[in-house]
Every structure is written in structure tokens, then in C-alpha cells.
Amino acid sequence: MLDITLLRTDPDGLAASFAHRGLTIDVPALVALDESRRRTRAAAEELRAAQNRAGKEIARLQGADKQAAIAAAADLAEQYKAALAEADVLDARFEAMWVPLPNPPHASVPKGVTDADNVTIKTRGTLPSFGFPVLDHVDLGERLGLLDMDRGAKVSGSRFAFLKGRAVMLEFALVQWALGRLMEEGFTPVVPPVLVRDQALFGTGFFPGARDQVYAVGVSDAKGNITADDLYLVGTAEVPLAGLHADEILDAAMLPLRYAGFSTCFRRESGTYGKDARGIFRVHQFDKVEMFSYCPPERSWEEHDALLAIEESLIAALGIPYRVVNVCSGDLGDSAAKKYDIEGWFPGQNAYRELTSCSNTTDYQARRLRIRYREGSGDPAMAHTLNGTAVAVGRTLIALLENGQQADGSVIVPEVLQPYTGFERLS
RNA sequence: GGAGGGAUGGCCGAGCGGACGAAGGCGACAGUCUUGAAAACUGUUGAGCCCCAUCGGGGUUCCGUGGGUUCGAAUCCCACUCCCUCCGCCA
């Protein structure tokens, strides 16, 4: 949700921000509706004030005077009820228009429509040259006994896999290493709930927009009928980590408040039928370490850069060539004001593909979740929230397998992970 | 799953139709006292929205959530949510 003062003080700037995203929004209509709802609310509150005064008077009166005052107040009560209903209708109408509006993009966000319009801002690492036919992660994984796609499909359907053997050890090595690195950076490790109420998904901006990407959990009765349980499987730990401090006023001295959440992530991937059908690049379930930060507004851009720097250092330490892209306005998502994706090099696809993502959602989520902070004894103000991928385990495993493959079919484990795996090579 | 109890301000806790944004205590902050500190004493101390305005002032809403009764609801009624205790089941 946006700060309403934007509408009142700078409607033209607001309209421009929607245009930046390629949206046409009738801002003057919003301004007019906002004005009429305030007028109506003020009128209702005046009636209420009169009613409150009358009530105090009634308490003091006795006998016939009291009866007369009550009769008069009954009339006031009727008027107030009507005025209140009118104000509520206008509020609801305004909110229906206001709440779905996306966060205004930062000035540095490139204008564009699809991910093809994203702008590469840096490229790091040297692309590996193999003197032998390059295998992709599916061939490598099945050959090394790390991955079983067919049986994943047998048990759970397409886009599911079994991860096995040393790949499992590699996953936990990645997670433990990443959490250790993040603790050095001041993050508190968290294992959050992965089932959340819709409130948390609304608050983070996934609902109502991305409803079709989220699994809803139900309960089946004896006849096999499924009833909704009003819980949803999260697609990222961002959701519970944002909800963690909902409805709180944080002490400014604690900020930035950094959390590193490890969770399984569930995504329906609806509308991606043909895309990335091979292997575990795009699956319904994967594990991820996610960074989340609560931050004062004046420091959030600095924090955004800091999170990106951490992501880069992790990927660089794993020896994966990568590039950083500034995600264009059309590809941003409602809640982000700016987003960096890191695309790692995947030799099996001969392409850079998304490996991590890092967003500054400014006060968009904070306003929806009522996450505020206070400087000393000052007034509460909206915090900013940011999130970024530390390690998306599935895709990182793919990158490690494909970049680390050797002529003999084995795969070298990055040095930083070896203390955690206890082995140097998958073979 | 069965039986009971509860939800009030940063925390504890009173209130059970009008004097209640809410006693009292704790905590926090400021002051007095003190060489300094502690103690003691005095004062201040919730959030949202709207209006006027220069610091500031006024109105309104909020006692788990949503409805209802009433001139008037923290207080009465209904529904829901969450928490706790005991029993059963269970990783």
C-alpha cells in the first residue's frame, strides 16, 4: 500500500510512477474520491461529537428532562448512523482502488515490459571452457546418483524430484555455510513457519495478485472432500519473516534488523507449462536461505546495496560466474521499488539464469503489515523492508554441478564447502 | 477429539451500562535532592484517522476480531479467532 500523502501532495508524480510501470491509473479520480470521503467522514464525526455531548447531558438529567433529552438524542443517533454508513461506503470504494496499486519504482529502475528489458549492470567471473562435451545437471545428477526425476514424477507429479546421496550433503553444506556467513553479517538465523495465513500473504503483496502461484492447504474428510483450512504454503521465507514484526513498533536502535530464514518454498508455477521442463531448475518445491531486513527509510538504499553485495560474495565464493541485472519496471512485482537479480552461469543451458533476487520494498509491505519504528521518544514512522536470496539451494546445486564438472564425469566441490561436506568431489 | 478458564495501555492488573483512553502497580523519561550514584519525592508517559494552526490546539476511533441491543457499551447479547489448564491421541 502506498503512502496517501503521495496522492495529496504530488498526484502528478504518482501518475508518472504508474506510467513508469506501464499502467494507466485515473489519479484525478482518486484525488476526488479521497476528498469526498474525508468530507463525509468529517461530517459523520461532527454528528458523533454532538451525540457524545448529548450523552453526557443525559447522564446528568432526571425525570421529564431526561426523557426529552433521550428522545432528541435518538434522532441524532439515527443521523449519525446514516452518515457513518455513507463514510464507510466511500472508504471501502477508495480502498478497493488504492490498496492494489503497486509501489512506485525508484528513479534508477529501467523502463521496460519483460525481463528482456532488464539492464545488466555488471558481469563477474570467467566462463569455464571444458575440453569435453558439457553435460547438464540432469545427466550429471542421474549419472552420479544425486537426482531422480522419474521417481519424483511417479510419486508427486511433474516438477518434483528426489535429491539423493552426496547432493543432500552438499545441500546441507551450502545451507550451513551460508548461515554462518550471514551470522557474521549480523543476521539472526530463523526457521520460520512455512504455512501462513492469508494475512501474511496480503501483507507482503503476494495476495491478491499472485494467488494462483500459491498452494492453499485444505483438510480432507472421510469422503475425500477437501475443505479449506485458510493456510497457505509459502513460496519464500520472505513471507513469514515480514510477518514476524507485523503490528510492532521497533526501536530505531535495533535497526537494521536482519534475519536469515531457512525454509522450504512451494510454488505452483502456473502458466509456465513449457518453460524449464527439464531437471530441477523450476520445481514446485525447493529449499532456500533468504535474507530479510527491517530498516529505517533513510538507510534502505544503502541496505539494498549491502544485501546485493552479500549475495555477490556468496556466489563469487562458490566460483559461479554471474552478472547482476537491474530489473525493469514491467518485471518488478507490485511490492518492489527496485530489484536486482543475480544471474548465474549455467553451462548446461549455455546461458545466464536467475539465481538470486534482491528487492527493496520500501514502506510498501510495512504499511500493509503495520511495521513501524521509533527514534527515541519521537513519533512512530513506517519502516522499510528488504529481502534477498542468500542461497536458492536447487539452482545453486545445478550451477555447482554444471560449472564444476570434470572430464572424468566427476564434480569438484567448491573449497568453501569442503569443511562442511567432508568430501572434495562428487563421483 | 472431550472438559473447563481466559484475552484490557510497554508489562502486571482493576473495572462488569453514563463521571473510562480507562484505577493501582511496575517499567521508561524529566525534575528536586546528592560531590556522584542509589533511595525518596514531583511530574510526564499508547496508537490510528480528520480539522485548524507557527511551537500548539480541537474532534473522532481503538479495551482479541466482526456483528447486535441502547440516547449511551471495556461493561449486555451473538458469532468467530487466539491463548492457557486437564484428559485422550500422536511425531
Which pTM value belongs to this model? 0.94
Q: What is the pLDDT of residue A208?
A: 81
Q: Is residue A374 scored above 90 in pLDDT?
A: no
A100 CA from B61 C1′ (Å): 25
Nucleotides of B under 7 A from a protein CB: 18-19, 29, 47-51, 59-61, 71-72
- Kindly determine whether the C-beta of residue A134 is less than 7 Å away from any atom of nucleic acid strand B: no
> Minimum mean pLDDT among A14-28, A52-66, A279-293, A328-342: which range?
A52-66
Average pLDDT, chain A: 93
A10 CA from B41 C1′ (Å): 52
| Each residue's pLDDT tens digit, A375-418 | 877 888 999 999 999 999 999 999 999 999 999 999 999 999 99
- Kindly determine whether the C-beta of residue A85 is less than 7 Å away from any atom of nucleic acid strand B: no
Share of chain A above pLDDT 70, in %: 97
Share of chain A above pLDDT 90, in %: 80
> Minimum mean pLDDT among A51-65, A354-368, A412-426: which range?
A51-65
| Each residue's pLDDT tens digit, A252-265 | 888 899 999 999 99
What is the three-state SS of chain A? Answer: CCCHHHHHHCHHHHHHHHHHCCCCCCHHHHHHHHHHHHHHHHHHHHHHHHHHHHHHHHHHCCHHHHHHHHHHHHHHHHHHHHHHHHHHHHHHHHHHHHCCCCCCCCCCCCCCCCHHHCEEEEEECCCCCCCCCCCCHHHHHHHCCCEEHHHHHHHHCCCCCEECCHHHHHHHHHHHHHHHHHHHCCCEEECCCCEECHHHHHHCCCCCCCHHHCEEEEEECCCCCEEEEEEEECCCCHHHHHHCCCCEEEEHHHCCEEEEEEEEEECCCCCCCCCCCCCCCCCCEEEEEEEEEEECHHHHHHHHHHHHHHHHHHHHHCCCCEEEEECCHHHCCCCCCEEEEEEEEECCCCEEEEEEEEEECCCHHHHHHCEEEECCCCCCEECEEEEEEEEEHHHHHHHHHHHHECCCCCEECCHHHHHHHCCCEEC
Q: Is residue A226 scored above 80 in pLDDT?
A: no
Question: Is residue A216 very low, low, confident or very high in pLDDT (cuts 50, 70, 90)?
Answer: confident
A251 CA from B37 C1′ (Å): 27
Q: What is the pLDDT of residue A222?
A: 61
Q: Is residue A59 scored above 90 in pLDDT?
A: no
Q: From the alpha carbon of A75, which nucleotide's C1' atom is closest?
A: B71
Q: Is residue A134 scored above 70 in pLDDT?
A: yes
- Kindly determine whether the C-beta of residue A42 is less than 7 Å away from any atom of nucleic acid strand B: yes
